[in-house]
Every structure is written in structure tokens, then in C-alpha cells.
Amino acid sequence: MEVEILGIRHHGVGSAINTVRRLKAFKPDHIIVEGPMELMQSIEEVDLSRLKPPLAILTYDTKELSNSYFYPFAEYSPEWQCFKYAKEFGISLTTADMPLKHIFALNKEKREADEHEVVTAPLPIHNRPLDEIAKLEGYESADAWWDKYFEEGYYEDAKRHFETILDVMSAIRERYVNHDFEHNNQREAFMREALRKAKREKRERVLFICGAWHTPALVNYAEMAKKDKTLLSKLPKTTVETSWIPWTNSRLSWESGYGAGIDAPGWYEHLWKESKDDGKKWLVKVAKIFRQKEIDISTAHVIEAYHLATALASMRGLSRAGLAEFNQAVISVMCMGDAILLDYINKELTIGHKMGKIPNDLPKLPLQKDFESKIKTYRWALREDSKRYQLDLRTPRGLEKSTFLHRLKILNIEWGSLLHSNNKGTFKELWELRWSPEMELQIIDKGIFGNTIELATQNYVNSRAKESKDISEIIELLEASILAKLFDSVDFIIKQIDKLTTESYEVTLLMNSVIPLIKISRYSNVRQSDEVGLQGLIENMIHRIVASISMACYGLNYESATAMFEAITELNEAITLLEDDSLTEAWLLSLEEVSRIENVSFLIQGSTYRILFDTKRYESNEVSKGLSKALSLGEEPLHSAYWIEGFLKGSATILLLDSAIWNLLYLWVDGLDEKSFNDLLPLLRRTFSKFSVYDRAKIGSKAKRGIDQNEKIEIASISLENFDEKLAQKALEVTQRRLYGVK
């Protein structure tokens, strides 16, 4: 059996050109391509002429979908050219490498042994030994070194090209030990076994295409049979599935599977299609892009950039200018030294926006088919670059599209990003759609929940709601389900929330839970949702809060009182949105009760007085009495400051308009001793800092004037009937001792 081993770089243009030359000259009757045997599942099921690269074969562990690799192919990938050649001429083809059924199983074992360390995918040729050699020759990376000698500087004689690679790799492997490949010996054992199998099958002319690093290990394949048998025994297994998916130029840089770190796929495609171009056509493309960006580029610019690039190549000892030389010439001549302008070229040309295509009739999961059917109906395309759509929810089609995108978000398929949506009654949404190939795996991952996007989303939501004990998480699911019009799920989630809140006796939790529910109820009408169940849940929760809040506010420390204060403030704002008189009345009556209870935090008490004043339940004189009591000399100044903080709640209006409250507060501050004033200053500053700059300025001006003289102080008439002078004298003596130290 005659064997030729071609060492290539994955996605290497020079490698692809020479591979095609050897295929035509050698005329093999059997082709072996480096790659797990599972790739053949996808290669054999389709006519490759119907596929348009860049593409990838998605491989995944059916028992653990996170265990997956992508194997991308460009038009200029040597492997792709082998696939096409074998199909065109009816030549037997196989792949050879460590099967993924073993790799994925080893991954799982490794994670279980150490969660911080995983088995890597088969890596590309770029590894530590080549990096060291490249640095010795003055190159920044192994890529640049390899490009000069084997991709851009390849021999016209393809046979000599691959013989040279074999010699170089043999010399390197004799000196260096490659530590970058996990299970490298086992992988190469599988490759050698593929050659031995070809010999047993009486193949006469076998061509083996593999990463250059492996070539020396395959030469003595026959002598290694016994050793390989030991290496390949007792490997764990799992079940693997594969699927063709569209790939993109920018994703060719991935190193999962056989991504070779290609950072300039557009450039490589140009080299593949225009192999005889010395750079002139490339620079014409560059000039065209600049002109599209309204940057003036003349023919003279193109000519001068070409001359500079070729001069740079000559100075560097290169046979011809490469991408680095052309980029430097473009910066100097076309960009006038501004390297930032080169970003246009990198994005539009050097990388490009090309995306592959696959036939719609390839085997797929029902969920994938439903997804593709929907986007076809909506006339959307899967594209690498982003595109924005404004949806009008008042139209049936606009609402339908929005619902679909919200369902994808629930499933964590982040194809669409919601850029703007004012939930308060708006009828418009702005979405940005941007496809990435890994989303295919996300769709496959959710295939276990149902065969359509709607059913899968509903089952996924129900599953999460059932398992979760976190009220806030479940409420987020409720809101998402309403946006996605999953009304069966909405009913299920409402029951879950009711169950969890019924089991809880913590009033603050109830309050913080009902607040978002009220907002959801208030602003979900755009979705045409049935809110009967939600309204019933809200009413039930508010009645439970009303019945328990007075006891819940009793005897709280400052931290707990602050949480309760914030909950009361937010819930009061939320209840006003309901516009339900009976619920509002019950709520305000409960706050009246809280305002009168002794041993309730002054912060909470002040906030209840403010709410009752704003809703006209308490008049100014009632508030003045409460404030007067809170600011009395018998109270701790710190407690008084808390009452003020709770009462003002970031609003200065009442101080500016109500003279009675102003005077009480002014006299209290004026009566503080120096130590108390200094101690309370940070708290007072925090309280007043929440006012607007304009209001703070007005308060400052009013403070300079002191007491508001326009305030009429009403003195209540005092009856002396049944007056006990002796008892009054005792009270006076106690007061004098407390205030003035009089004995």
C-alpha cells in the first residue's frame, strides 16, 4: 500500500492549494482526513455541492449538551477540499482521530475529578514548540513563521512542500515534547489504526491529511500496532450526535474542534480565489470600502500603497507582500498614519461578514424546524452583523414577532436583544437581531422541552417555576411569561406564588413580592393578557399585608425598620396604580394604626404620617401634633431625626408650603446642643441631599429668615375646673430638675 501523509494547517490557504495539487497528481483510491469518526455522520448524509462554506459540524454529547465541539470549514480548508474531491470522484473517505464518544466521556470524568480542569478539544498545530522556534527566528508568533515558510512561501512542487513539512516536524518532535495535547498519543494511535485498516481493506493508494504536528507519528504505523492496542483499550464512552450548521468568518478564529486561530478569513479567502494576485486586487477592494465610507481615495493612493507594500516585503526577505505589509502600507498612504481607519478594512474585508448556508431539508430536531419556519414567516434572516427592527404591538404581526422573540429570551436563545421598551403602556419595541452559530446548540439544548418554540418555552417556564423557591425569580418568570403570551404558564406561576407567599409569615417579603405583581398587572394590558387570576392574587396578598403590618412594624431595629420603610413607600406608590378604592382604604387604615402604635421605629412612623398627609387622611394640625411629639425634649435627638427622614422622604414641598411644620422643625434644630447637632448632621445631610438643588436653595433662603411669622399659633383655652395644684407642683419640680438642674 502506497501512503502519502500531507501535513497541513487547518484553514491554511497554501496547505489547501498544495493538497488539491497532490490529490490530482497522486490520484488516491482512499482518503483519510484528521477528525473524529463521528464527523462522517454529517459528511455522508448530504451532497456537499449543496453546502456553501463557511460551515461547521456541530458535535455534542446527547446526555450532556454542554459537552460539545464545533468543527468549522472554509472553502480554503484542506479538509473541505478533500471532502469535495472524494465526493466528486467517488473515492472512499473516512476521518481518523480519537472519537468524540471517548473525548466527551473523558471530559466528564475529568470534571468530576476536578471541576476546575477539563479535557481540551483537539488543538490546532500552533503549540509551544513552534512558538519557541518562531521567536528564535524573530517572529512574533508561530502563525507568522508558518505563513512565511509554508502558506505564502510554499513550493510550486506540492510533493516537495509536504516532504519538507514532514522533515521539519520530525526534527522538532525529536527535540521538543509537546505538552499542549491532552491524550495526544491516543489520538495518534487512532490515526495509525485508520492506516492499518486501509491496508487490511487492500487499499492501494492512500492519502492522509492531518495537522502537520502529527505527520511524523504516522510514518511507522505498521510497527506500532501492539503498542496502540494497549493505548486504545478501556476508554469510556458516551453517545454523540452531529449536525451541519452555518458558520461565519469571524467564528473561524475559534479553537474549539479545528478552528486554527484564523484572524483574517476574508484575506485568506481572497488568496484562495485570487491565488495569482500580487496585491493589486486586494488594494482595489480596500479603496472601494474607504470610498463607501466617504473617504477620498484615488488611483494614486492604490499605486503608492502597492509599491510601499512590495518594498517592505523585499526589505524583510519575503517572496511577496503579505497582509501585514499591505496593512502597514494602507495606514501610511491611504489613512495618512491614522491606524484607527484600518478598523473599517478589518471589519468589512479582512474578516468580512460572510455566513454559510445549508439546505433546509437536512435532518434536524423538530424545535429547529419550528424556529426556522417562524423566521421564514417573519422574513428574517440569520446574519452575523446586527440588524434592528421596530415592532408595533398594536398590529397582529408586530405582536406576534415580539412574542416570538420574548419566548427565545426565556429559553436563553439570545438572538434578539431588546434595546428599548417603555413598559408603561407603550406599543412599540426596538429589537436588535444578531445570529451566532452557537445558538444552534442552545436550540438543540431546549429540544427536550417540546417540539415547538411555544410548547418548549411553556414547559421550560413551568419547570423552573416548580423547582424555584425564590419569589423574586418566579415573579420574573411571570412577567416574562406575560410578555411571551404563555397564559397557561401564567396560571401555573400564579398558583406557585400564592403557595409560597402563603407559607411565608414575613410581611416585608409579601410587600416586596406584591409590588412587582401590581406593576405587571398595571402595564401588561398591551399583551392582551387575562389578568383575573393575577388580580385575585394581588388582592389576597394586600389583605394579608394589611392584617399583619402593624405587628410587623413593632420593635424593629434600624436595619429592619429601614427595609420596612422602603417597602411601605414602594407599596403605597404601587397601590395607587391599582385605582381600587376598597384596597386603598384598607391600606390607609392599616397605616393609621401603625402611626399610633408605641415602640414603632420613628422612621416608619414618620413615613406613615407623610403618606396619610399626602392622601388627606391627616390634616396639617394632626401632622404637627405627631411631629411635635417626635421632636419633644423627652425624645432622643437621633429618633427625632429618623422621624424627619421618614416624613420628608426626599420631598421638600411640605417644608416650603406648610409653616407650622417648618416652625416646629426649625425650633427643634435651633434647640439642639452642639454635640447632638454634630452627631445628627450626617443624617440630616443625607435627608436633605435627596432634595433637588432648586429646593435646597429655597430652604436655605427660608432658613435665613428663621421662624415663619405668618404662622398663626392657636392657643387652646384651658379649663381650671378640678385643677390639682399639688400634683401640678410636683410635675413642675420634676420638669425643672430635668431641664435646668434645679433641685
Domain locations along the chain: 2-261, 276-351, 367-503, 515-728
* Amino acid 120: pLDDT: 44
- In 524-671, which residue ranges form alpha helices assigned H by DSSP? 532-552, 558-578, 581-596, 602-614, 620-630, 637-648, 653-657, 659-671
* Amino acid 258: pLDDT: 44
Residues 188 and 177: their CA atoms lie apart, in Å, by 15
* Amino acid 650: pLDDT: 58
The pLDDT averaged over each successive group of 10 residues in the chain (743 residues) is: 94 92 96 95 90 90 80 93 95 95 87 56 52 83 82 78 94 71 81 96 96 93 91 88 84 52 83 90 95 92 96 88 92 92 89 84 83 92 87 92 95 89 69 87 83 91 88 89 88 86 79 86 58 80 89 85 88 87 92 86 85 84 77 70 76 70 74 77 75 77 74 46 73 62 48
- In 248-395, which residue ranges form alpha helices assigned H by DSSP? 265-273, 280-292, 299-315, 323-333, 342-345, 366-377
* Amino acid 24: pLDDT: 95
- pTM summary value: 0.65
Residues 176 and 168: their CA atoms lie apart, in Å, by 12
**H or E element, residue 337:** none
Residues 365 and 358: their CA atoms lie apart, in Å, by 15
How, if at all, do strands 2-8 and 205-211 pair? Answer: parallel
* Amino acid 497: pLDDT: 87
Residues 259 and 257: their CA atoms lie apart, in Å, by 6
- At residue 278's C-alpha, the angle toward residues 274 and 283, to 5°, is 85
Q: Which of 32, 33, 2, 7 is nearest to 18 (CA)?
A: 7
Instruction: Indicate the DSSP class of residue 631.
Output: T
Place of cell 418548549: 456
Instruction: Indicate the DSSP class of residue 654.
Output: H
* Amino acid 515: pLDDT: 87
Q: For residue 414, give Cα distances in angstroms to 406, 438, 461, 700.
A: 10, 10, 16, 52
> What nine digits make up the cell of 155?
513550493
SS3 state of residue 512: helix
Place of cell 508558518: 146
> What nine digits make up the cell of 142?
508561530
Q: Which of 500, 508, 504 is nearest to 492 (CA)?
A: 500
* Amino acid 742: pLDDT: 46
Q: For residue 641, give Cα distances in angstroms to 442, 558, 592, 706.
A: 55, 13, 21, 19
C-alpha dihedral, 60 to 63 to 67 to 70, nearest 10°: 0
Provide the strand spans (E) within 134-252.
Answer: 205-211, 240-246
* Amino acid 386: pLDDT: 87
* Amino acid 527: pLDDT: 52
CB proximity list for 435: less than 8 A, separation 6 or greater? 355, 382, 383, 384, 415
SS3 state of residue 616: coil
b/e 243-269 (16+ beta carbons within 10 angstroms → b): bbbbbbbbbbbbbbbbbbbbebbbbbb
